[in-house]
Structure 1
Amino acid sequence: MRARACPRVLVLATTFPRWVGDSEPAFVWDLTCRLTGRGYGCTVLVPHAPGARVQEEWEGVRVIRFRYAPEPLEKVCYEGGALPNLRASWRARLALPSLLVAQRAAIRRLIGSGDFDLVHSHWIIPQGFLAAGACRKGGIPLLLTAHAGDVFGLRGPLRRSARMALGGASAVTANSRATAEAVRSIHPDSDPILIPMGVDLTQFTQAPDENRVQLEGNPSLLAVGRFAEKKGFHVLIEALPKLLERLPESHLHLVGFGPWEARLRELASSLRLDSRVRFHGPVPHSEISSFFRGADLFVQPSLADAGGDREGLGVTLLEAMATGVPVVASRSGGIPDVLEDAEHGILVEPGNPTVLAEGLHTLWTSPERLRMAEAARARVSERFSWDSIADRFADLYTRLLSFKRAH
């Protein structure tokens, strides 16, 4: 058999940019692009979305988006994430079985083609579970990367599926200690390797200072992310009246989209905060640093949602820290891995508007605010740069492929 020019990797995910300049989280793309630059030939398989191309190539990465329903019904993934969408939309629930059938067929077809040396599944379920049998049959190493919703709060068949996937994996990575602990609670024999997602330091630490959006408020508060329960934006809105009692010129700016948007808007209106809360909608990832640079404080009020899902790491928190904006965040999920209280910002208990308002007031009035922001910037540069993260994944790829060749 002729040797390949480079090792071929099949990357599986359910969150991925739908097109260039999309506002969907880009961390799978960011990592895959850098691994391609390190000598791996990567193909990404993700669900299709309305308006997206079925196949295309980005910077040497082949992207395949499998169809699973008539385009108006392809509502499971994107614009809020699969779990929040399934809870909020009957259309998403209706399309879920066909998504799983189509995803399974696409995974089996690609693995069975013999074109790949390694499979890397972001999220353990569903795609890690669906790939495990085909990888075992084909003798192909399977790397699972746990992010959050694929391990937190799993019950019944979902938990059993995750356990089976973990049992069939060649290696497992987790983005935080909390995620790793959740992995071990599902499959005690798993030994997850801690590798977080990263930050593009060029975009977030080296952009010119004039590249900023002017955000109203003194202070101007910024929160960025999917409008879903676990992001805790409803708690932030509920905290604003308490903050206004002490900082009457405060304004809140929300960047994002998702199934909770209508609920958040109604909450702001019911609290008579329409003039104080601005919804900016989705913003392309390439432009998000200009919002960080225009904010006085960044807020990550994440919490455990009704299903037990929580923040695996908090990539937007990392990006805010890299930009140098002072941050207040909840002590939830993997966030304490990123931010040490009173050293890099303020950590507060999740789900409590009064405590959150107090934390915001404390940071804004603290003479240590700018020192903490600079310490946070240095921490991200030292520990979370995409270059160092990609190097760690590339080393793991090499070890898995070497083990495959030896056997």
Structure 2
Amino acid sequence: MEAKIKVLLVVRWPVGGIRTFLKYTFNYFPLNNIEFTLLTINSEGGRLLESDISKKIVNSELVADDKDQLMNMSKLIWHYARKGDIDIIHAHGFTAAAVSFLPSILSRTKLILTSHDVLNESQFAGFVGSIKRLFISKVLGRCEVVHSVSNDAEKNLFSFFPSLNKKRSVVIKNGIDSLHFYESKAVDLKKEFGLSEKSIIIGFFGRFMRQKGFRVLVDAVDYLSKNKGLDNLHVLCFGSGAFIREEQAYVASKMLLKNFTFAPFASDVSAVMKGCDLIAMPSLWEACPLQPMEALCSGVPFVGSRCMGLREVIEGTPAIVVDVNDCQSLAKGIEKCLKIGNGPFLEYQKEALEKYKIESSAKALQNMYREVAG
């Protein structure tokens, strides 16, 4: 009988793409002798993650969301590792890997890092940045495997850390529960939000942070309203994030409050996506976003920027590709998307269903655990 492999999942930021990645991957994870324990933050995102994967974990630890959280996470990792309760520490994100670094060395426990984001120069600016770069280099050198979620993300990682051992780097692309989005039924969003029947609904599903390019979308709607007579565009925002008030203020400064609705958080966006006339994703950078996979499996027209990560996901699909951080290019993309309608996207649904299914990603991750455990 195959020996059981015990994996500690360490998640410092249980939000956005990381939480969704874990939900999809571990709910479809084969049960063949791999046992998971979750260590994350006692926040709304952490509690949602715990609930999302509750059937696939044997234990969970939620660390208080306070100033001592990183130290306390590191202590708990050491607690599990020194008792020999785990074979592999799987850190999700660079911060999670950083707090796992010392416990993994002291306990001689194997460490895996999944990089869910891309790096930029501003993160390593100045003296403090150079120290951070040196420390991350040491963390990467400690890892048995550094897992990137796209080829773009791996190239980005090597551009900052060229000394990383290529034999320890692996790309396993993200996937989704594609059948769920394929089969979901649309919600009547116009009725639910009291919108005019003439409204054209644009869905925005990103977090409110600079990376997601929300202001590019605001400026594009402003341009289309003032220059193209499309004053019936209505953006439904199903996002969250610390900068939501600033983004709402920006919408107000453009006199566009009537064109935007900030909706409550939705844990399952499949029916909401199908209620949109199109979905816009004007990101400035991504690692391997799930949103375009979800939209394309839903058969909904999609406009996305050709930024890192996103361009890789939508290559070879009917998605309309626009320039990064360019509101007029996005405006033209929205116009083009409305002109061609949903026909090409409905035709592509079955191909998307197969292309983005999570089962192949989960199987590849299982094989990675087996190889690392030896």
What's the TM-score bracket when you normalise by the shorter of the two chains?
A: 0.7 to 0.9
Match of 1:131 in 2: 100
Where structure 1 has 5 or more consecutive residues not aligned to the other structure, the ranges are 70-94, 304-309, 403-407
Contact 1:219 1:364 in 2 (8 A): no
Q: Is 1:145 matched with 2:142?
A: no
When the two chains are superposed, the root-mean-square deviation of aligned CA atoms in Å is: 2.7
Where structure 2 has 5 or more consecutive residues not aligned to the other structure, the ranges are none
Secondary structure of the residue aligned to 1:26 is helix
Say which is worse superposed, 356-365 or 31-40, in terms of deviation: 31-40
Q: Which amino acid aligns with 1:237?
A: V
CA pair 362-68 structure 1, distance change in 2 beyond 3 A: closer
Residue of structure 2 aligned with 1:381, choices 344, 347, 353? 353
Deviation at 1:275, TM superposition (A): 1.1
Deviation at 1:378, TM superposition (A): 4.0
Hey, which of these two has a bigger chunk of helix by percent?
Answer: 2
Q: Which amino acid aligns with 1:104?
A: S
Q: Is 1:235 matched with 2:229?
A: no
Deviation at 1:146, TM superposition (A): 0.7
Q: Which amino acid aligns with 2:175?
A: G
Deviation at 1:347, TM superposition (A): 1.0
Given the two structures, how large is their TM-score scaled by the length of structure 1? 0.80
CA pair 145-102 structure 1, distance change in 2 beyond 3 A: same
CA pair 348-160 structure 1, distance change in 2 beyond 3 A: same
Q: Is 1:315 matched with 2:293?
A: no
Residue of structure 2 aligned with 1:112, choices 75, 82, 97? 82
Match of 2:178 in 1: 201
Aligned pairs (5 A) from 1:3-402: 6-16=4-14, 25-35=19-29, 37-49=31-43, 58-61=54-57, 62-69=59-66, 95=67, 98-123=68-93, 125-148=94-117, 151-153=119-121, 154-155=123-124, 156=129, 157-188=131-162, 189-191=164-166, 192-207=169-184, 209-211=185-187, 213-214=189-190, 216=195, 218-244=199-225, 245-246=227-228, 247-284=230-267, 286=268, 288-303=269-284, 310-340=285-315, 343-366=317-340, 369-372=342-345, 374-375=347-348, 377-402=349-374
Deviation at 1:60, TM superposition (A): 3.9
Deviation at 1:236, TM superposition (A): 0.3
CA pair 28-50 structure 1, distance change in 2 beyond 3 A: closer
Quick one: distance in 2 between partners of 1:276 and 1:50? Answer: 29
Quick one: distance in 1 between partners of 2:273 and 2:88? Answer: 37
Query: Deviation per CA, 1:149-208, whole angstroms, max 9, x where unpaired?
Result: 5x344312332222111111101111112210121123223333111221112321122x
Contact 2:115 2:149 in 1 (8 A): yes
Q: Which amino acid aligns with 1:129?
A: A
Q: Which amino acid aligns with 1:280?
A: A
CA pair 339-283 structure 1, distance change in 2 beyond 3 A: same
Contact 1:32 1:42 in 2 (8 A): no
Quick one: distance in 1 between partners of 2:17 and 2:258? Answer: 25
CA pair 397-51 structure 1, distance change in 2 beyond 3 A: closer
Query: Deviation per CA, 1:250-280, whole angstroms, max 9, x where unpaired?
Result: 2111111112211111111111111111111
Contact 1:16 1:28 in 2 (8 A): no
CA pair 291-358 structure 1, distance change in 2 beyond 3 A: same
Given the two structures, how large is their TM-score scaled by the length of structure 2? 0.86
Q: Which amino acid aligns with 1:181?
A: K
Secondary structure of the residue aligned to 1:388 is helix
CA pair 348-190 structure 1, distance change in 2 beyond 3 A: farther
CA pair 137-24 structure 1, distance change in 2 beyond 3 A: closer
Quick one: distance in 2 between partners of 1:345 and 1:331? Answer: 11
Quick one: distance in 2 between partners of 1:203 and 1:363? Answer: 24
Deviation at 1:340, TM superposition (A): 2.2
Quick one: distance in 1 between partners of 2:298 and 2:44? Answer: 33
Say which is worse superposed, 55-64 or 243-252, in terms of deviation: 55-64
Q: Which amino acid aligns with 1:59?
A: K
Deviation at 1:346, TM superposition (A): 1.0
Q: Which amino acid aligns with 2:297?
A: A
CA pair 50-276 structure 1, distance change in 2 beyond 3 A: closer
Quick one: distance in 1 between partners of 2:203 and 2:176? Answer: 19
Contact 1:224 1:316 in 2 (8 A): yes
Quick one: distance in 2 between partners of 1:68 and 1:283? Answer: 23
Contact 1:23 1:282 in 2 (8 A): no
Contact 1:12 1:46 in 2 (8 A): yes
